[in-house]
Structure 1
Amino acid sequence: TNRLVKKELIHRNVYTNVEQLRSDVNRYVWWYNHRRLHSTLGYLSPVEFTQQGKTL
């Protein structure tokens, strides 16, 4: 996930303060866990996957 955060978020933006960086990272993590579909999880988000009682 660290690699994806760097590739998809940090390297695409210029940050002038820590608060903006922190806010964007928090929004990215929320999106990653709630909206992004993961092929390994049967094209569910991590939250949907765990709500269905599934584990890897």
Structure 2
Amino acid sequence: MNWESWQAFWAMGGYGLYVWGSFGMTLLCLAAEIGLLRSHRLQVWRRLKRMKTWDSQ
């Protein structure tokens, strides 16, 4: 598509709120997923460390 101005680009033919809102929600969900994965990975490492110390006792 070819827009006449930046304002027309951001408006997306009247669907700008839906389009940019969808992009925003997708980015938010991806960031949350990455954060949760990192959190779970840290929990697993801590649990493995505890298991290792229990085995050595």
TM-score range for the pair, normalised by the shorter chain length: 0.3 to 0.5
Query: Normalization by structure 1: what TM-score?
Result: 0.38
Query: Normalization by structure 2: what TM-score?
Result: 0.37
- Higher Cα Rg: structure 1 or 2? 2
Highest RCO, 1 vs 2 (Cα 8 Å, sep ≥ 6): 1
